Amino acid sequence: MNNIVESYKEINSNIKKLNPRQEVKVIAISKTFTAEYIKPLIDFGHNHFGENKVQEAISKWRLIKKEKPLIKLHMVGKLQSNKAKNAFEIFDFIHSLDSKKLADIFSHCESNNSKKLKYFIQVNIGNEIQKSGLPVAEVDEFYNYCTYEKNLNVIGLMAIPPNDKNPNKYFSELDILNKSLSLKELSMGMSGDYEVAINFNSTFVRIGSLIFGQRA
């Protein structure tokens, strides 16, 4: 279990070398791993964790978050509208906001609750049929809808580049788009390409296997 903490420390050290002037947060992607397995990283003091299924997140994190109120939970998977209300209860960050229906539901939840989430708009940066996210051409209008009509706190954009292509082009495009909206945060980069993403100003990287090992 200690190798989890050592792996995390090594990644953090590498990130600081890559971009010493930019604060980059590591989201430890804990999906499919048990609470017991990830406990060493929690005890070490890491606070940002990512899940991609609402029910798994609720069952795993509800008690932990009560005991550790500094923990921030990130929804990093495709979010169905019928799961949005439950997601609102357990998550602090949503990285997959990509429809007006979702925006409407979250806005309604926030209007009846003191809790406010932070949102990333998911962009289908490679125009891939199998991936969620908005086309680049629709991002500006959707950002205005979420921010000014629905009063959601959109803090940045998120994207996953095509698996079989060099990510530089896509990370660069997302960085430019993010800056055009004057957004401060940028969610891109995973275990295999986080170093490249940081070179293009990513502020949140989603790391799973490099910390926890391969999933069964």
Q: Is the pLDDT of residue 55 over 70?
A: yes
Q: Are strands 154-158 and 25-29 parallel, antiparallel or unpaired?
A: unpaired
- CB count, 10 Å around CB of 163? 11
Rounded mean pLDDT, 13-39:
94
Rounded mean pLDDT, 123-138:
93
Mean pLDDT of the chain: 95
Q: Is the pLDDT of residue 147 over 90?
A: yes
The per-residue pLDDT for range 65-102, each reduced to its tens digit, is 999 999 999 999 999 999 999 999 999 999 999 999 99
Rounded mean pLDDT, 142-154:
98
pLDDT of 22 reads 86
Rounded mean pLDDT, 15-43:
94
- Candidates 5, 9, 14; CA nearest to 38 is 5
Rounded mean pLDDT, 183-190:
97
pLDDT of 117 reads 98
Please, which pLDDT band fits residue 151 given cuts at 50, 70 and 90?
Answer: very high
Rounded mean pLDDT, 142-167:
96
Domain that holds residue 85: 2-212
Please, which pLDDT band fits residue 1 given cuts at 50, 70 and 90?
Answer: low
Q: Residue 161 is part of a domain; what is its CATH number?
A: 3.20.20.10
pLDDT of 214 reads 80
- Counting the structural domains of the chain, the total is 1
Residues 40, 76: contact at Cβ < 8 Å? no
Place of tokens 């629709």: 138
Q: Is the pLDDT of residue 170 over 70?
A: yes
